[in-house]
Amino acid sequence: MGSSPFDTMLLGSHHSGFSEQSQSAVFIDFEEAQNDEISHLIEVADSRLEVKSRKRKTTNSKRKTENPKQKTENNKPNTAKSFCTFNYPITYLMTILYLHGLESKLSTAKKAVLEQYGTVLAPDLDYHHNPDAVQQVYETYKGQPIDYVMGSSMGGFAAFHLCRAFDKPVLLFNPALVKRSVPQNIPTFKTPTSGFGQVVLGGNDTVVDPADTLRFLVDQLKAGFDYHLHLRAEMGHRTPLDVFEEEVGLFLTRKY
């Protein structure tokens, strides 16, 4: 699986450590990472990921000028659908299950990003008064053809466990995998033998400690998941719209 044009560093068999030219987003391939590299990664996370940052290669102004109908290199019309993000064509409509956080809902703008790719299922969950929210979501959607599961914060916790139940790829934004402010029961779901997970962590997150999440994910490597970790040094707990759009585009255009 090749690196994307947004990759700043792939910590794996060919890249080790954090370079002086690290950007604000650091992409890690957990499947290829060695133990000493993971240990170093956790040390960096413990220091709040204080790495040098600079502007991403793709700016908002450049994205605004992209036209899905533009000509391709061979001068033939680009037949990708209008739900093409960062010039990566998606050739079919999909069903995305998105789970919101404890005190937040899926915003209209972020929902619009997801709707470029297909149908969005975004249930309104009451984590405060329903300790079985994860099981409730599973019972509600287990008969539907879900293609991808996504979640943020508390919703990331729910998505992490539901992706196992549905055996589907999962995208997590600052997931509350270790500690939660309200009790939530974890149903016993099967563990997939293969799959893909993309985890996005903010280095300045003061709500969900990224170092705790890293340790949790290291313990989960034995589950057989191919985890890709995207560390964004300047991001806090909230995911900015442009980061959300970029991460969704990268996630939905990977080959599984």
Mean pLDDT of 17-34: 45
- pLDDT at site 101: 87
User: From its phi and psi, is residue 195 left (phi > 0), alpha (psi between -120 and 50) or beta?
Assistant: left
pLDDT beyond 90 at 245:
yes
Pair 174, 200: CB distance under 8 Å:
yes
Quote the pLDDT of residue 256: 54
Residue 200's DSSP bridge partners are 173, 230
- Is 56 a member of any domain? no
Confirm if 147 and 121 have CB atoms less than 8 A apart: no
Q: What is the rounded distance in angstroms from the CA atom of residue 193 to the CA atom of residue 167?
A: 9
pLDDT value of residue 138: 94
How far CA 202 is from CA of 41, 54, 119, 153, 174, in Å, comes to 14, 15, 27, 11, 7
Q: Is residue 5 part of a domain?
A: no
pLDDT at 42 exceeding the cut of 50: yes
CATH number at residue 205: 3.40.50.1820
In a domain? residue 200: yes
Confidence of residue 255 (pLDDT cuts 50, 70, 90): low
Residue 113: pLDDT above 90?
A: yes
- pLDDT of residue 232 exceeding 90: yes
Residue 92 pLDDT grade (very low, low, confident, very high; cuts 50, 70, 90):
low
pLDDT bin (cut points 50, 70, 90) of residue 196 is confident
Q: CA 88 to CA 25: how far, in whole Å?
A: 20
Domain contains 57: no
What distance in Å separates the CA atoms of residue 249 and residue 114, rounded to the nearest whole number? 9
Q: What is the pLDDT of residue 184?
A: 76
The model carries a pTM of 0.67
Query: Rounded to whole angstroms, how far apart are CA atoms 28 and 39?
Result: 13
Q: Is residue 61 part of a domain?
A: no
Rounded-to-integer distance, Cα 151 and Cα 170, Å: 8
Rg (CA), the chain: 18
> Is residue 195 very low, low, confident or very high in pLDDT (cuts 50, 70, 90)?
low
For residue 26, name the pLDDT band (cuts at 50, 70, 90): low
Looking at residue 31, what is its pLDDT?
47
Whether residue 61 has pLDDT greater than 50:
no
Contact 151, 157 (CB under 8 A): yes
Asked whether residue 186 is domain-assigned, the answer is: yes
pLDDT band with cut points at 50, 70 and 90 for residue 18: very low
Rounded to an integer, the average pLDDT of 109-129 is: 94
Q: How much is the average pLDDT of 199-224?
A: 87
Q: Predicted confidence band at 155 (pLDDT cuts at 50, 70, 90)?
A: very high
Residue that wins the pLDDT comparison between 202 and 34: 202
| Nearest partner of 218 among 6, 81, 30, judged by Cα | 30
Reported as type and span, the H/E element at residue 164 is helix 154-166
The dihedral built from the CA positions of residue 42, 44, 46 and 49, taken in this order, carries a sign that is negative
94 three-class SS? strand
* Partners of 120 in beta bridges: 96
User: How many domains would you assign to the chain?
Assistant: 1
Q: Is residue 59 part of a domain?
A: no
- Candidates 220, 163, 174, 153; CA nearest to 196 is 163
Distance from C-alpha of 146 to C-alpha of 150, rounded to nearest angstrom = 11
The mean pLDDT of 97-111, rounded to a whole number, is: 93
Tell me the residue range of the domain where 197 lies: 10-49+83-252
Which tokens go with 142? Answer: 């287990």
Q: What does the pLDDT average to over 217-239?
A: 84
Residue 175 lies in a domain: yes
